[in-house]
Structures are given as C-alpha cells and as structure tokens.
Structure 1
Amino acid sequence: MGANTLRRSLVALFAATLSFGAISYAQAETLRIGYQKYGPLVLLKSSGELEKRLAAQGVDVQWTEFPAGPQLLEGLNVGSIDFGTTGETPPVFAQAAGADLLYVAFEPSAPLSEAILLPKDSPIQSVAELKDKKIALNKGSNVHYLLVRALEDAGLKYSDITPVYLPPADARAAFERGSVDAWVIWDPFLAAAEQQLQARILRNGRGLVNNHQFYLAARPFAEKHPQVVAALVEEIRKTGEWTRTHHDATTAQVAPLLGLSADITRAAVERQSYGAQLITPQVVAAQQQIADTFSDLKLIPKRLNIAEVVWQAPSKLAQAQ
C-alpha cells in the first residue's frame, strides 16, 4: 500500500470513528423530566407523544414525580433531572440557593388554583384573624407568595403568623388533626381537601397573585440541547391547547393517574390554565417583584436578577409564539 493510499485509509477510518461516536452519543442522550400532580406534563407523559417525537433525535425520556416545586428544583439543582414545572416561588428560592436554572416557558395565570384553607368548623372568617395562628405550607412553593400577599392585603406582617413548613401530604395530615389553624395549598390537593374534608376556602389568589406555572431547565442541558427543549415546549403547548377544549376527556385521562375521583380532578382541571408561552418581559417583571419580596423578608439570602436566567429560545420557536 502506497503512502497516499494509506493516508486516505486512515483519514476515512478516523472520520468513520468520529461519525460513529457522534451517533452513539446522540442515541445515549436522555431528557429527564420532573413533574407534579397537575398540569400539562401529566397529560404529556401519559400520551407518549414526546417520546415519539424525540426518538427521531435519538433522545430517550425519563419521568420523575415530585411532591412539590421546591423538591423538584432541588432535583434539578443536584443534576437528577433536566427539566420540570413549578409555580412562581420555587425558582426564586432555587436561584437564591445557587441552582443553575433557566426559565423556559410559562402558563397563563391561574389564581383560583391555590388558596388558604380552613377546617370546615373553623370560626375564622377573615385573613386578619390569622394573626398568631399556625399555618401549614410548603416552604418556597407557589402558595408561599400567596400567603405573604394575603397577609399584607389584610394589614398583617409575615411575622404575625407562625408558619409550619410541611410538604403537602404531611400538611394535610396536620390539617386533619387540627395541629394547624389553616393550610395554604394548590390543586389537586386543594380540590381534594374541599371535597373530601369539606375544607373551606378563606382566600384564593384572585386579585392577589398571578400563580403562573413555569417550565424550567437546567442551564447546561438547555444550552447544549436547545432543539430538544424547543420540541418539548411545542409538545407542551399542543397538549395545553387540546386540554383547554377537552375538559371531560382530560378528567377521564388524568383521574386514574392521580388516584383521585373524577369530581376532584375535574375541579382542578377547570381551575388550571393552559397555553404555554415563552417568557415575556411582563412575566420577568412579575417574577422580579416576587424575588424582591422574599429578599425584603429575609427569606432568601440575596437580591436576584430574574432577567439573567431566562432561556433564549431558537428563533423558529420564538417566531411561532
């Protein structure tokens, strides 16, 4: 074999090796999604549409359920998931704790899907009467901001109540035992407590909070795989658009997944909002206000800049919004 022939053979072998390596790496990629017991991700998971779409890119999909947003974003922070959904407040606490996250998209406001609950026989009739009372909530969750705003609206300070920080299951148990005077919670836990415990809504988010649902990604994953994230956002949007006009079918599909009755599930489905959009300046400003509020309360250790952690979507996806 001549020198030129040998050189061409080695170049071809090297190119083939690189190509094979690239294909193998792409096929080995996995998108790890964290989800909760609400919202379009539950439906997207059950439909299998995302798996079908990403299979063409050699990407597998793994799903992990979390009890609440703070726990989900802790998973994102430690690298166990790449993408997830939470309410407004968890990403603020996560960013303050150093999580390398990006806001990717959001759902329209749904202020009725979270509320301050009272036991059915509670004598309390106003938020002002929560002074010196014990209130259960998941620290750093979306309802944390609802509680702060409701107290402020009633002329109370956060220091006027005793927060009892518990995840939803433990908070419900404390609520049923009478260990706390009130419980701040979101759907479907809210709908379940209303129907199963005859819990009474003292104040929901109407006129107080937006209660946006956010989709967030680990920055390294989003920057390395923008097309995967774009495809995911498109599938979430499609799922939401279908859900908005198919409440009966959605309820039938979701109720068994949640282990809840059709009546409870339907209430949660109807109070949720649908139609994922890329992050807007108005939403950034609203999140900045939430971050500033928790910084002022010394519940997070530093001031944040929300605009610094917004995903820059591929132009094709941004133009489609």
Structure 2
Amino acid sequence: MNSRYNARRRQLLAATAAAGVAAAAGAWTGSVRAQHQPAPLRIGYQKSSTLMILLKSRQTLEKALAPKGVAVQWYEFTSGLPLLEALNIGNLDLSADVADAVPPFALAAGADLTYYASETPSPQAQAIVVRGDSPLREVAQLKGQRVAFAKGAGAHYLVLEALARAGLSIRDIDPVYLSPADARAAFERGSVAAWAIWDPFLSAVQRQANARVLRDGDGLASYRRFYLAATPYARAHAEVLDVVFDALRDAGEWVKRNPAEAARWHAPLIGLDAATVEAANARRSYAVRTVDGAALAEQQRIADAFTAQQILPRKVAISGSPVWRKA
C-alpha cells in the first residue's frame, strides 16, 4: 500500500515538476518574444496634414507594416512646433508635414531631428492679400500700413522677402502679429490693410471675403512642407521609413489625380466646404521627395532671416542636420 502510494506520489511530483518547467519555458519564450517585438511607429500630425491623415483613414501604414510586426500609433497636435518638440524628447518617432518656417525654430532649441522628406515647392499656397476694394496694388504701397501675419511663420518670411524686393524693410510697415483666426477678423473689419496667410485660410478668405492677392510666394518663398524624424529612430529603422515614404508619395499622387474626391474626403475634417479645400489643394504640389540641396538652402535662408530679426534665439546651421536618404 505504502509502496504504491509512494510510487504514485513520485509520479505526481515528477509530473508537477515537468509542468513547472514547461510553464517556465513558455514564460521565458513569451518574454523573449516580447523583448524582440518591434516598437510601434508613433506619428504626430495636424489637421492640415493631408497626406498623413489620408494614410491614417485608410490604415495604409498599418497594413503595409503588419508583415514587419510594426504597429502604428497616431497623435494629433494643434501646431507644428509642439509636434517637433515631442519628436525631439522621444515621445514621437515621425512627424507629418510642417511648414517650412517650423524646423529652424526646433533646431535653434537644440532638437536632434532628421530631415526625412519634403513636398516640392507650392509658392502660390501662401500670399499677402488685401480686400477686394483696397487701393493697394503693389507691395511698395504697404509702406506705413498695418500688415497682419503670424510671427515666425512662413508668412512672416514671405513678408520680409516681399518687402526687401520692393526696397522696404519690416521697419517700413506696422506689423501686427496675429493668429490666423484673429487676423482674418481684423482683415475683414478693416483694422489691417493687408494679411499674409497660407492655405487653406488663403482660399477661404478669397472665396468668402473677396480677398485679392497682392503678392504670392512665387520667386520669393517656395513654401515647402517638411517631414521630420527623430534622429535615433531614423538611424535604427530605415526599413520602416522606406515604407512610409512610399506610402506618402503614393498618397500625394492620388490627391492630385482625384482633386474633387480628395476635397470631399478632407473638407469635413477641417471644417471647410469641399470647393475651398479643392482650391487650396490645387496650389499645393503634394509631390513627396527626399530633401535636396535647394530645400536645405532655403531652410538656411529662412533661419538667417529670422536670426537677423532676433526672432530666433541663435544662429542655426542647417547643414549640420542629418538628412535621410531612401535605400
């Protein structure tokens, strides 16, 4: 009796031990798998990020990166500089497009960012406008006038370049630094003579308030949109950036091939009518390319202009920033 009991007890203990070893092995294997699971791709975007929002709505990146085991996480921001700040401190891996004036400010603050891609120039997508009944017909006539624009924005750079081309400087006008919403209100009630603004606000004020373009960016400011990556991520995950770049390029081509459909899709997301969005999209190139020398040279000109105006806290050397190249 005791011998049978002891034998069964030994069998039970052996089985229990084996089960424990198996469980431990399974737990260890799961732990190893968790350690080797690729980190998610964290993308920051704004409501103006047409191409990234298109990819998000279609889950294009989720599908394309699934074979690599890479999940995608999306984070919305209200403006470009906080987005790049989040990128710099490691809370994001990739930014959707930001306006050309934004990267120099992030770099001046010491951000470690990589220029990842850009859209080719869209100089008519920002302009200095006046009211339809304004007597002003050329930039030189802005002398002594109140001109509204967002301080440190691409429109600010456009004003500086337009004034210089007309033989004037910022000291020859009365600059009024306002957000787009406040600037439009001031523009419509006549408390400023002109307003420098970008699309889709530009298309909206043209269609809804009969604004007239005094000078756009053609020959002055290219208005490229830049995509940036956290430098450590760009160095470690080139294969992921390849996938995202191809998807962005395809999305840009789709928007240009299907302007009406693209506008109907995007309009409700930004609170504008489809016709206004389509007019704005017509002035944007949406042609995604790797960042070239011409783009970097203009980034340097923007940085230098803002440094001269003491808007940037220090001189920025754009050439010191990494630039991603497609494999």
Do they fold alike, i.e. is TM over 0.5?
Answer: yes
Q: Does the CA-based 8 Å contact 1:279-1:310 persist in structure 2?
A: no
Q: Does the CA-based 8 Å contact 2:42-2:74 persist in structure 1?
A: yes
Q: Which residue of 1 aligns with 2:56?
A: 45
How many residues are treated as equivalent by the alignment? 307
Q: Note if 1:188 corresponds to 2:200.
A: yes
Q: Which residue of 1 aligns with 2:280?
A: 268
Q: Note if 1:94 corresponds to 2:106.
A: yes
Aligned-partner Cα distance in 2 for 1:188–1:18: 49
Give 1:174's aligned amino acid: A
Partner of residue 156 from structure 2, selected from 119, 125, 144: 144
Aligned-partner Cα distance in 2 for 1:221–1:169: 36
Higher gyration radius (CA): 2
Q: Which residue of 1 aligns with 2:4?
A: none
Q: Which residue of 1 aligns with 2:295?
A: 283
Q: Does the CA-based 8 Å contact 1:105-1:214 persist in structure 2?
A: yes
Aligned-partner Cα distance in 2 for 1:171–1:78: 32
Using the TM superposition, name which of 35-44 and 250-259 deviates more: 35-44
CA drift of 1:77 comes to 4.5
What per-residue deviation string (whole Å, max 9, x for no partner) do you get for residues 201-220 of structure 1? 11101121211111112223
Aligned-partner Cα distance in 2 for 1:309–1:106: 15
Q: Note if 1:19 corresponds to 2:66.
A: no
Give 1:248's aligned amino acid: A
Q: Does the CA-based 8 Å contact 1:38-1:188 persist in structure 2?
A: no
Aligned-partner Cα distance in 1 for 2:28–2:159: 60
Aligned-partner Cα distance in 2 for 1:219–1:269: 30
Give 2:210's aligned amino acid: Q
Aligned-partner Cα distance in 1 for 2:92–2:131: 36
What per-residue deviation string (whole Å, max 9, x for no partner) do you get for residues 267-293 of structure 1? 111111022111112322222222222
Q: Does the CA-based 8 Å contact 1:70-1:140 persist in structure 2?
A: no
CA drift of 1:130 comes to 1.6
Give 1:175's aligned amino acid: F
Q: Does the CA-based 8 Å contact 2:114-2:324 persist in structure 1?
A: no
CA drift of 1:163 comes to 2.5
What per-residue deviation string (whole Å, max 9, x for no partner) do you get for residues 65-86 of structure 1? 42x4345434444555431311
- Judging changes above 3 Å, is the alpha-carbon distance between structure 1 residues 104 and 300 closer, same or farther for their aligned structure 2 residues? same
The within-5 A match list for 1:213-228 is: 213-228=225-240
Q: Does the CA-based 8 Å contact 1:149-1:208 persist in structure 2?
A: yes
Aligned-partner Cα distance in 2 for 1:134–1:221: 45
Aligned-partner Cα distance in 2 for 1:73–1:171: 25
CA drift of 1:174 comes to 2.6
What per-residue deviation string (whole Å, max 9, x for no partner) do you get for residues 116-174 of structure 1? 11123333222112223222222222222111111111111122223322222222223
What per-residue deviation string (whole Å, max 9, x for no partner) do you get for residues 220-260 of structure 1? 33334333333221110110122222212212222222221
Q: Which residue of 2 aligns with 1:32?
A: 43
Q: Does the CA-based 8 Å contact 1:32-1:80 persist in structure 2?
A: no
Q: Which residue of 2 aligns with 1:241?
A: 253
Give 2:56's aligned amino acid: K
The RMSD of aligned alpha carbons is: 2.8
Aligned-partner Cα distance in 2 for 1:194–1:310: 39
Question: 1:91 aligns to what SS in structure 2?
Answer: helix
Structure 1: runs of 5 or more not aligned: 2-7
Q: Does the CA-based 8 Å contact 2:139-2:214 persist in structure 1?
A: yes
Q: Does the CA-based 8 Å contact 1:88-1:212 persist in structure 2?
A: yes
Q: Note if 1:54 corresponds to 2:68.
A: no
Question: 2:32 aligns to what SS in structure 1?
Answer: helix
Q: Does the CA-based 8 Å contact 1:104-1:278 persist in structure 2?
A: yes
